Structure 1
């Protein structure tokens, strides 16, 4: 079994075919999917997708692109919403200096709010980090000093130093279809170096479809392509990567019940 630890099944790209999408994922060996919230104000839509499918769970949070729109969302709000049985993570939140769609101060403020919620609930924080390695590492180190919290650097595309700092602080690192791109040798080098017990796989669907589906709409079934490249990169079998990343997922996302054998 594989797990798609990060997708966006509430997005309109999937309107009218979510049942078929989930069925295709199951056929491809994907046993669990986590659909990730990007705006607390649209959380009800995310939760509805999770509630409609036994194998789909969700998070609650505000993407850094939308940070300035939801600075009124409090730690207490996130804690309250995360009490639902289907909510298994906080986020995604973080820093994105590539697009800079929200002021950096707002991104940092929102990020720290989500960290506090992860610390309070014990649920993993799903971290978005793009072109912000130094500030991300500094905030993570400072906040860990206030009290530990579980977290994953999702859709990893940052530098080696951030990956190693994340692992040092107890974080997990998740790889998406970017790992399969021909020009992603730097990312594969990071994936090769990290401890096996910190690795996850994801799609970030509908974005970033892996080879050989690149350029098409991504979907959870395609997690298998990324897992295959991760196995090749690390010189192990696909079965070993599936077993390891799935075990890692359930250790981090501890609120998700393991499917019956």
Structure 2
């Protein structure tokens, strides 16, 4: 599937990936097949009601949704942002950030380069061991005005990871997919604005907001979701 062109355009489409853009499903483990298929077929509004403005306003960014295989089976790489950051302080998130000019065109393969570059800068992982296999439609984070391209990766050759810059990253950790699908670890958070969204209580962290929303939709459209209690509410100050 290397270099498959995807429909782009305003309002949450995928980047127009050109030949040689670096996507391939060759050699993926079979358990990732449902994720690759979901990435190929899912539509923007199936992921979120928050889509990029038609005007094109917003800061282009990318995140790396990196699947690996650990002692407990399939797992996902996450980090916890430093509590001193201006945007999304203290939140668990995917590695990622804004596109730099050297990353290239955000409508082409710029998000792929940015996702790998940011992941290396934040966690120290070796990009050479990552196989990118899919791109989800662009989404929008209204509070920070980021237009986010989620890039899917397979950690084919794992490398050591850590919080490279404590001023940006408090910690780096992996979460078994089995823990994310466990109904006992699932809940709904209610933001002070009244917005409700899915959440996961895993690895001593409350994963919520944009990151939890994307994980929730990946689990759902990959067929991994298990029935869980949607009446369970967890406050955002759950450690208090």
> Would you say same fold, with TM above 0.5?
no
Higher strand share: 2
TM-score, normalised by the number of residues in structure 1: 0.25
State the TM-score, normalized to the length of structure 2.
0.27
